[in-house]
Structure formats: structure tokens, C-alpha cells
Structure 1
Amino acid sequence: MITSRREFLAASASVVTMRGFSLDPREPDLVVPLWPEGKMPGGPAPKMVETIDDQVDNAGLRYRVAVHVTRPTMSYFAAASPTGAAVLIIPGGGYSRVGIDREGFETARWLNSLGIAAFVLRYRLPADRWGGRSDVALQDAQRAMRLIRFGGSGQWKVDPQRVSVLGGSAGGHLAGCLCTKVYERTYPAIDAADHLLTRPDGAVLLYPVISMSGNTSGGTRTALIGPDPTPQQLAAWSLEVNLPPITPPVLLIHAVRDRVVPVDQSLILFGAIRASGGPIDMHLFEEGSHGVGLRADPAQPIADWPQIARRWHVRNNLA
């Protein structure tokens, strides 16, 4: 039993080391702008300044969050012994901010330890009222998937048929959109990369927002489609409503006692994909917090999700 803050910090450091990253983590090997100058869709852009809120959490770990994103990017982390697999990581933030360290860079370093190239997406936020409001985050996610498959002009060695996505919370919703909105072109092609597929080869969704109807998490729905959405908007952004004929393999991970995004959200998608005959795995934990990334309390069973995800990646030839 952990009985003091010192023991808690020591335990946290131990968990951090086990998960494949350190308290003094490396930054990305490369930060790639998603769009050529003057070619970014979804305008007009709101008048705002992109900022980074740089804090430290209760365990002494860095906790950066980007707000008012105006220059969407993906941060590339190269694996020392690459297997050819890659993961696009989409951190959460309720579509009003986007995480950097927790659910982002830390997950990337863990994937690198498995030989998987990792790309952390910093996407535009619909809450900022872009001209293309609800579409801007999906535009960035689709563009990122295409750039990963395009290969970065040889900068990274990635098998274009082994690119999966991992997203948490609202980032899980955006990752799910890549799986379900596979036939939607949200922007006109601007170069050769835009002729490649946006559908991932698999998806790990952590405590995701799924449906815009009913018991939706906090302000995520408002940030994405506004305070008074039409029935058409609700349906368009509810992942369970319009599943394509073929979905990629999906792994859902959720805590039953999640107080931010109800576990019913994962259950909805599990039921829809199962009914459609698609490949779906789900792991539910009685206890566990929301948005933990790799920082879960080791006493909570949800802290074991990386091992579950690793086995799932191996089984689906994505590791």
C-alpha cells in the first residue's frame, strides 16, 4: 500500500519506467507541418494565437496542452529498431484543447520501445469556430494519415499497410472518425499524398466519445457541433450511425466507473460493429480514471491497458 507522497512519486516513477519512457523524456525527432503554406482548408481562420499551457501534474510529470491551434502538425518519434509499423496518436481534450505529453509524447516513446514509429497529431479545434468548424480536426487527421503513408520523402520507413491509430477521449472520437468516415473527402487534393487512403489499418480507442446523442461527455458535443445541433449533425458525427461495409480492427478500452465519458459510449460502438460483422475487441475495467494515458495508478487494473494493446497490435500484424 502507498502511504505517503514520496512513495506515490516513487511508484509513479516506477510505472513510468515500466511503460517505456522516462521522467526526462526526449522530444520529437521531427515536427511536420500538415499543410503547405497557403493550402490549409477549413478557413477562414479565427483571430487567435496558438499557445502552450505548460504545467506539472500531481506526480511531478510534465503536462503540456495546446490551445487555439493554428498550425496543425504531427510530431514524429523514430523507433531505434523499426518494424515497419506506425501509429498515429490522437490525444484528447474535448475538441477545445489537445494534449501533448500525457496521451501524446509519452505514448509515442512507449510505442518506439516496441519498434513502432509514432506520430503525435496536434490538430485544429472545432471549438475555436473555424470556417469549416466541425470538419477541421478530421481534415488534419486525414491529412496526417496520408502523409504517414506517403513516407515523408524517405524520412521514415513505414509500411503503408501497417498504419494504425490510437486516440483517447475526444481524440478517440476523432480516431474513430478515420475508421467510419472512410469515403468522405473533407478537402480537395493538394498533392500526391492526398490520393492515398485515410482509413487506418486498425484502431485503439481509449475511453472514447462515440455518440453525439444521449449521454455524451461534457462539452465535447458542443465544441464539435455547437449548442443546438440539428438531427442531421448529431447523426453525422455519431460513429455508430453510419458504419462503412468494412471497418478496420478496433480495440476499445474503458473503465466502468469513468466519470467523464460514460462506459456506455464504448458499449454503443461495440454493439454497432458487432452487429455489422466487423472485427472488434473490448476490455472493460471496473475501476479506472479518465484520460490517464500511461499515468494510471498502478493499483487500478486499467493500468494494464498497454500490455493488452501490445498483444492486440501483434495479433493484427500492426507491431
Structure 2
Amino acid sequence: MNNKKLFLFGILLLGCTLVNGQDTIMPLWPEGKIPNSIASDEREKRIINGIVRVSSVQEPVIEVYLPSRSNATGEAMLIFPGGGYGILAYDWEGTDIAKFLNGKGMAGIVVKYRLPSDTSQKNKHEVPLIDAQRAMRLVRKHAARFNLDAQRIGILGFSAGGHLAATLGTRFGDTVYAPLDDVDKESARPDFMALGYPVITFGSQTHQGSKKNLIGKDPSQKMVALYSNEKNVTPQTPPTFLFHAGDDEAVPVENSLVFYAALQDKGVAATLFVYPKGGHGFSLALKDPFLKEWSDQMVQWIRNLK
């Protein structure tokens, strides 16, 4: 086979991979139409030091990991990595989680969302939710392409990513950007959500770094209430699975407790696992024989949802 034929074969093979959706990267927004963005010299950074840390995201995307069609259940989870709204722990709480879900027959879709920035954004506190809503709508729009059930698309967030997931789960109906295209006709409501050691409240038990990065150093009480997700639960909030370690010193377990109580109060189905030890940011916890069970417990919970 000559070089030209080899090149054409490579292009054809790449096209097949993209059609099948395996490890496909899709931009959230049409080129030049990213809401709340300001032209600046800020550029995305990626640092690898034990884990992959991504910061200063300028062009948000979804990274789609699919199981083989023969194993696929049709279920999917959008994954929001944590990092205090300052970075994204992109593999630790993102792509590693997606690959785990693939092993359970589920699609794992990592959302590389924009982090709040005074340099490249206006109304920075709205930006993560804007990207989260768009990501859910985009995945639902392309459900058939990715062999998904459009009514079985959930979300999974860790730490500050858990705050973003809970914000989406409670405020999916808020208008935070002007519709751009047919994607924005889709619902942004997750069908279910899982929150790992999440930041929930911006009250006394909050993670101060996440709060400051999202809504500033001296926010108004109105802004604090708007982003204290336990105050925004409604009967339409999706069924929720929570897991947290009781000895978490970064994000106190009270965050999960107060959200669980709010869900119960509104009649929303909720499950809460509080592990005695584990600290903060344990991801899949594969080296802990007890803590690592959270992931299988979550999958079983999803399968039992009506």
C-alpha cells in the first residue's frame, strides 16, 4: 500500500472512530459564540503532577467515553471534576471516572467547564452553570449518535464539581444564557445525580476557596443564598445519591447532610452514604477496601431507579 493510500485509510479509520463516539471531544458552543466570554490573553493551562490539573479553560468541551455497543445500557453520566473552582482534577475526578463507568456499560462524559475568571468573563458566577446546562442539552441532542437513552442521562460531580452538579440539579430551569440553536431546545434537567464530597452550602460550613472563586470575597446575602444549593431544592430536583467521609476537613460532611435533609423535605428520592474515614478528594478510592464500594453502590442505585 503506497503512502497516499495509507493516509486515506488513516483518515477513514479516524472518521469511523468519531462516528462511534469513542473518546470524542465536542465543543459546547459554536465558534465565536461562547456566552459571557471576554477577549483576553488568558490561556488554558494543563499541569501534570501526580494528577492532571487543568485551569483557565477558555473553550469548554465534553469528552465522551462510550462502552462497546454490546455492553451499553443506554445510561450516561456527565462528570464534573472538582478543584475549588480554581482547577479541574481532570483525570482523578474526570476521565478515570468515565472509564470506570464504561466498565459498567454506561457512557462517561467529562465536562471541561470554564472556571470563574475576572479576566476572560463577565458575570463570572454564572459561567459554570451556563456550561453545565449547555453540556446536558448537547448530550441529550446527540443521544442517538452515542447510543443513549435520552431519559437516562445523569450527572456526577466531585467537591466543587459537586457544587456545580447540585446547582444544575436545582437550577436547570434558570435562564442564564440566550438560546443559540436547536441544542438549546433540549431540557437541561438531569434524570438523576450523584454528588461526591460536594460543596453544597455557601453558609458557615462551606469550602471558603470555592465560595470566593465563584462569587467573590464579599458577596451579598442574596448571592450567598442563590448558590447555597440546599435552599434551591424543589420537588423537581432529580433523585440524588450522596457520598462523603465523616472526617472530611476541607468540605465538612454537613454539606451533604443539609442537602439530604432538603431533598427529604421536598419529597425527592435520596440516598446518603457517610463513611467514617476517607478525608477529602478520594476519587475512586481503589486502595481502600471499604471506601471504594461507593462506586458500585452508586451504579446499583441508578439501576434501581424507576
CA deviation profile, 1:266-290 (whole Å, cap 9, x unmatched): 0110111111111111010111121
Judge which range, 161-170 or 271-280, deviates more. Answer: 271-280
Amino acid at match of 1:308: Q
Residue from 276, 284, 304 that aligns with 2:274: 284
The residue type paired with residue 142 of structure 1 is Q
Gaps spanning 5+ residues in structure 1: where? 1-27, 57-62
Report the number of matched residues.
283
Alignment counterpart, residue 123 of structure 2, candidates 121, 132, 141: 132
Unaligned regions of 5+ residues in structure 2, if any? 1-21
Which residues of 2 match residues 111-130 of structure 1 at below 5 A? 111-129=101-119, 130=121
Q: Map of 1:42-121 to 2, 5 A cutoff?
A: 42-56=36-50, 63-80=51-68, 81-121=71-111
SS in 2 for 1:126: coil
The corresponding residue for 1:208 is 198
Question: How far has the Cα of 1:122 moved from its partner?
Answer: 0.5
Go from structure 1 to structure 2 and tell me whether the alpha carbon gap of 1:296 and 1:186 turns closer, same or farther (over 3 Å shift).
same
CA contact (8 A) 1:288 1:296 kept: no
Q: SS of the residue aligned with 2:230?
A: coil
In structure 2, C-alpha distance between the alignment counterparts of 1:47 and 1:226, rounded to whole Å = 22
Counterparts of 1:141-290 in structure 2, within 5 Å, are 141-151=132-142, 154-290=144-280
User: Aligned Cα RMSD in Å?
Assistant: 1.6
Q: Give the distance between the partners of 2:39 and 2:233, measured in 1 at CA.
A: 31
C-alpha displacement at 1:55, in angstroms? 1.9
Q: TM-score, with normalisation over the residues of structure 1? A: 0.85
> Comparing both chains, which one has the higher relative contact order based on Cα–Cα distances under 8 Å and sequence gaps of 6 or more?
1
How far apart, in 1, do the equivalents of 2:161 and 2:265 lie?
24
TM-score (norm 2): 0.89
Partner of 2:30: 36
Tell me by how many angstroms 1:127 deviates. Answer: 4.4
Quote the Cα distance in structure 1 between the aligned partners of 2:79 and 2:63.
Answer: 9
Aligned pair in 2 of structure 1 residues 33, 176: CA closer, same or farther (>3 Å)?
Answer: same
**Farther-moved stretch of structure 1 (308-317 vs 290-299):** 290-299
CA gap 1:32/1:308 in 2 versus in 1, 3 angstroms:
same
Per-residue CA deviations over 1:236-295 (Å, capped at 9, x if unaligned) read 001011222321110110000011100000011011111111111101011112111114
Deviations 1:100-159 (A, max 9, x none): 11011111001011111111011100145521200111111110000110016x531111
Deviation >6 Å, runs of 4+: none
Shift of 1:221: 0.2
Deviations 1:3-51 (A, max 9, x none): xxxxxxxxxxxxxxxxxxxxxxxxx611111011111101225531101
The SS at the match of 1:240 is helix
The whole-number CA distance in structure 1 between the counterparts of 2:142 and 2:300 is: 26
Which residue type is aligned with residue 244 of structure 1? Answer: T
Alignment partner of 1:310 is 2:299: yes
